Amino acid sequence: MGEKWVLMKTAQTPTNIAVIKYWGKRDETLILPVNDSISVTLDPAHLCTTTTVAVSPAFQQDRMWLNGKEISLSGGRYQNCLREIRTRAREVEDKERGIKIEKKDWEKLHLHIASYNNFPTAAGLASSAAGFACLVFALAKLMNVSEDESQLSAIARQGSGSACRSLFGGFVKWIMGKEDDGSDSLAVQLVDEKHWEDLFIIIAVVSSRQKETSSTSGMRESVETSSLLQHRAKEVVPKRTIKMEEAIQNRDFASFAKLACADSNQFHAVCLDTLPPIFYMNDTSHRQDNQLC
């Protein structure tokens, strides 16, 4: 096995927009949510992350660049994804180039990762969802991992909760699961992207500034201080999720829009009920919301 080779894979993953919102974790490390959520995956031609992963015996350490700028991989979320994928890595052979990576080699080999978002990062457009889904998917391809999308979604979930929903097109449900180890907290496709082809999604960017409160710290504060969050998670979302699945199956736009608006507003309501309050909407989004809902 020569020392100069580099093996690469590139993947492209769209972002997804929740129509039944994920807000609140019951386990911070494994990223297990307090309720099911449902999202629609956008067309990858529009909002997406493109990630190239490369492996080479010449690499001295795992490194990553986001939008051309190197970022640290030392955080638990990256480490969890890398570890989970490496555990499942299998033998890879490129006969033409005379490259062979044994299963056991993956532990010693280092990765270089380059990721680009073609839309504003951390501005409420689920950049981390697309990013982690793309990272996990690209690594799975590079490492010849045999797990299916749902199994990969449980890995992507450990990078960013909503990332698990970006591994499928169409409408996707993140089942919250019951197990303490998170093994049943994964995404399933409800219907594929062809099911509702005359549904168009318009993304209106009212501000491309980074959010003042990250989703991670925001939902932690909501879980700790909002007296409405648990009621929403336990009493409201389960019923709403059933209705939303029906609306999607029946392509019932009136019900779909009403449920999506109601749930989005309730998510923002829980944010407002947090101490200190979190605002993800401004006057412009309020005006849009008033016209739509």
Long-range pairs of 238-244 with CB within 8 A, sequence gap ≥ 24: 238/35, 238/36, 240/20, 241/20, 241/35, 241/36, 241/38, 241/173, 244/19, 244/20, 244/38
Structure tokens at 231: 């009621």
Point out which span in 70-78, 148-156, 174-182, 274-282 binds its own copies (CB under 8 A).
Answer: 274-282
Is residue 67 classed as helix, strand or coil in its secondary structure?
A: coil
> Phi, psi (5° rounding) for residue 3?
-105, -5
Helix axes of 253-272 and 215-225: crossing angle, nearest 10 degrees: 70
Exactly one of 227, 249, 250, 288 binds its own copies (CB under 8 A); that residue is: 227
Point out which span in 30-38, 142-150, 159-167, 284-292 binds its own copies (CB under 8 A).
Answer: 284-292
By CB under 8 A, the count of residues binding its own copies is 28
CB of 127 to its own copies, least distance (A): 24
Map 149-208 to HEC letters: HHHHHHHHCCCCHHHHHHHCCCEEEEECCCCCCCCCCEEEEEECCCCCCCCCCCCCCCCC
Question: Rule CB under 8 A: is residue 257 a binding residue for its own copies?
Answer: no
Exactly one of 76, 235, 238, 250 binds its own copies (CB under 8 A); that residue is: 235
Question: Rule CB under 8 A: is residue 261 a binding residue for its own copies?
Answer: yes
Question: Rule CB under 8 A: is residue 75 a binding residue for its own copies?
Answer: no
Q: Output 153 or 274, the one with its CB closest to its own copies.
A: 274
CB of 200 to its own copies, least distance (A): 22
CB of 273 to its own copies, least distance (A): 4
CB of 281 to its own copies, least distance (A): 8
Exactly one of 62, 236, 251, 255 binds its own copies (CB under 8 A); that residue is: 236
DSSP 86-117: HHT---EEETTTTEEE-GGGGGT-EEEEEEEE
CB of 218 to its own copies, least distance (A): 13
Question: Rule CB under 8 A: is residue 123 a binding residue for its own copies?
Answer: no
Exactly one of 232, 233, 238, 250 binds its own copies (CB under 8 A); that residue is: 232
Residues 163-222 that bind its own copies (CB under 8 A): none
Question: Rule CB under 8 A: is residue 277 a binding residue for its own copies?
Answer: yes
Q: Output 173 or 268, the one with its CB closest to its own copies.
A: 268
Exactly one of 1, 6, 201, 275 binds its own copies (CB under 8 A); that residue is: 275
Long-range pairs of 265-273 with CB within 8 A, sequence gap ≥ 24: 265/289, 265/293, 266/21, 266/232, 266/236, 267/21, 267/23, 269/228, 270/23, 270/24, 270/222, 270/226, 270/228, 270/229, 270/232, 271/23, 271/218, 271/222, 273/222, 273/226, 273/227, 273/228, 273/229
Exactly one of 94, 231, 250, 288 binds its own copies (CB under 8 A); that residue is: 231
Question: Rule CB under 8 A: is residue 270 a binding residue for its own copies?
Answer: yes
Interacting residue ranges for its own copies, rule: CB under 8 A: 225, 227-228, 231-232, 235-236, 258, 261-262, 265-266, 268-270, 272-277, 279, 282-283, 286, 289-290, 293
